[in-house]
Amino acid sequence: MKIAVVGTGYVGLVVGACLAENGNTVVCVDKDAAKIATLEAGKMPIYEPGLEEIVRRNHSEERLSFTTDLPAAVGASEIVFIAVGTPQGEDGSADLQHVLAVARDTGRAMNKYTVVVDKSTVPVGTAAHVRDTIARETTQLFSVVSNPEFLKQGAAIEDFMKPDRVVIGSDDQRSADVMKDLYAPFTRTGAPIMFMDTASAELCKYAANSILATRISFMNEIANVCELVGADVDHVRKAIGADRRIGSSFLFPGVGYGGSCFPKDVKALLRSSADKGYDFKILRAVEAVNDHQKLRLVEKMEAHFTTLKGRTIALWGLAFKPRTDDMREAPAIPIIERLLAAGAGVRAYDPEAAPTARRIFGDRIALCEKSYDALAGADALAIVTEWNEFREPDFSKMRAQLKSPVVFDGRNIYSPEQMRALGFTYFSIGR
């Protein structure tokens, strides 16, 4: 199939590359000429494992191309994916100006029947707005489909190529058939393609991310209770995770969730619910718990040191999760800001997110090229992101570099017994 993907951010680039990998002819469109030039040169604007290889291979084999010319891309395509950003407004709602601008320009460029696919995360009712916007610009037949993405950063390629399910919101059979043909190669192992109305499809993404965020905040609350009553959250987590009604995923306590999806989607669902007169009390609590949890590690530091003024804290991990350079809503940001406000110095290391952190913090923190460099002369180490390279470090080297052997583990990656046996003063979450 001939496909245009408008937007070369995280979702658009992954979608375009994976569709090309399966033999489709895909053109990725972006108004940012510098980004298009970067992609044409084989360089990636984001870090995602496996993405660079797929982009380069399909670009070389001429299945994947990049352009700023949206009308030409739309005119040459049967399917147009809208994958532009929906930034969060001040009131928590999703800003649809970019989505509707693409819809308008797509309508003007259509020269035949076209399926327009909302791939951006959008509030319920967006498909109708997109349909109305396009209809004002063209007399061509077209369909608007909702096709939410369920990609995990750090595993996005596998998630797209081997999905748990594909959700298609369609109001006519012709577009449903087109989407079924498009996704059939990705679902040969039995993953379902779920067809539904556009409103239900749009709500699926918000509902999925909100329930995952709820599980995280719930376990963080349980971890905080464990500390008060002398229980071990690892034992509790394993016991409830063994219940088939619950399962073990997203039950790991830590310093809170972040990234481009959970915070924004929780806020958007809260806002859209409020707009309909509904107070989503559970999600308000989820958000409040998460905001507080991001500072639990600093509270532990303040309790241990009495004052953080003049202290130096080493941070391992800046990205909101491993295998990405994304720091949007990352717990590291409020942790660092609280440390700086308390008069502490910060030495930080992350395998991928240092350039992003430099744009956020400038020279207010020291960004180190190697993990052990961050420990030099620090009063304590705080682990904020659970990169694999932190799981089995040289503990003797850690002790030698740190001014005092104190570790605040925000991801519970070490054994408390082992750390104490090695001579560390060790703090974790819920243990």
Task: Report the catalytic residues.
Answer: 261
Q: Is 205 helix (H, G, I), strand (E, B) or coil?
A: helix
Both structure tokens of 315: 């941070």
Residue type, 223: A
Cβ neighbourhood burial of 149 (10 Å; 0-12, 13-18, 19+): buried
Nearest to 7, CA basis, from 129, 122, 124, 165? 122
Query: In this structure, are residues 318 and 350 in contact, taking their beta carbons and an 8 Å threshold?
Result: yes
Q: Mention every residue, 6+ apart, whose C-beta is less than 8 A from residue 301.
A: 308, 313, 339, 380, 382, 408
Query: In this structure, are residues 344 and 309 in contact, taking their beta carbons and an 8 Å threshold?
Result: yes
Nearest to 301, CA basis, from 291, 311, 292? 311
Query: In this structure, are residues 140 and 112 in contact, taking their beta carbons and an 8 Å threshold?
Result: yes
Under DSSP, the state recorded for 152 is P
Half-sphere exposure of 82 (CA within 13 A, CB side): 30
Beta-bridge partner residues of 5? 28, 81
Number of H helices, E strands in the chain: 17, 14
Cα separation of 154 and 31, whole Å?
Answer: 26
Q: Mention every residue, 6+ apart, whose C-beta is less than 8 A from residue 261.
A: 121, 209
| In 242-392, beta strands by DSSP E | 312-316, 345-349, 366-367, 380-383
